[in-house]
Structure 1
């Protein structure tokens, strides 16, 4: 019975199991395939056990918010910033949440919360194109084009990405703001920030000019 399409029939009394089989055969006598499928669905719904009730979430609202941030890829420090709390407070929230869930680390806590659908704010990006061939040369070309576009239209924002992880987007923001790549030099010529996108994270940046440009505008 373990390989049955209806494993729950193993718990049916013999008389009820026999009735279920008879009703299935009866449903197949419909005039066409669509009616037969509809009749079969009704028979299965009549005999199948009611689904188990969804377990109640043991977490507080604040703990749900924290676990959601962690599930979305944020670190404890980034979650603390997003929630307006100190890192020590966030770590204490996490420890208390893990105790309530009966786990000791972040990964099983996230797995449990996601499995039971306790994280309404969970962001699950749609499956995007494969990134397996997008190596350093690809991103260098992307950054070079973005920098050129921004220099051509000073002040206009250009989106770069998408980046799968929050950390990846944050790293690129630092690279742009600090001028750590030739395309974005001298330092301070560009301003960048990370934003959510349908595929994960984007970096939105703009060219603000060199220090001499900015001094010239201030004098004017």
Structure 2
């Protein structure tokens, strides 16, 4: 099992990072919540990983914190939730938001995630209610009064050309309809915002949590 990878971030796109380690380039699938925490390319990055092996594919999933990785591992134990759907869930909700959603039994927030129907959402709330207790102790207080996954890195943003188009494409790739993506971006867009900021705020506006 590959549990962690540390190396130079060569490339990053919403959904994937290329990390060079000892001369090898590892393609790592990442949720959007991890993408927001990546440093600039050329800098060192550490990702907590899960190596998923199937008959027809092998995939390496990476996360900004051990908490996100451990939550991912709990999610894929739920009947009907595979690695791709689990990564999609963690793209729409970070670990803190998901845990609060389960504690509040908020079905409405879960069904707004692409690929999550009502039955899957209800199953997640039931199956994860006890399992999330295994994650206790992995939160540290943040300066803003919320909580921050232990080991998380503050997001780094920069100017990106055609940020709006890039953000819309990212939401569409996540599973949202083009019209939904466009409306969400329009709702939160302000001058000078990067694609990372647009994606983050658009996801937050579409998936409100208590």
Q: Which has the larger radius of gyration?
A: 1
Q: Using CA pairs below 8 Å that are at least 6 residues apart, which structure has the higher relative contact order?
A: 2
Which of the pair is proportionally richer in strand?
2
* TM-score of the superposed pair, with normalisation by structure 1: 0.24
Which of the pair is proportionally richer in helix?
1
* TM-score of the superposed pair, with normalisation by structure 2: 0.25
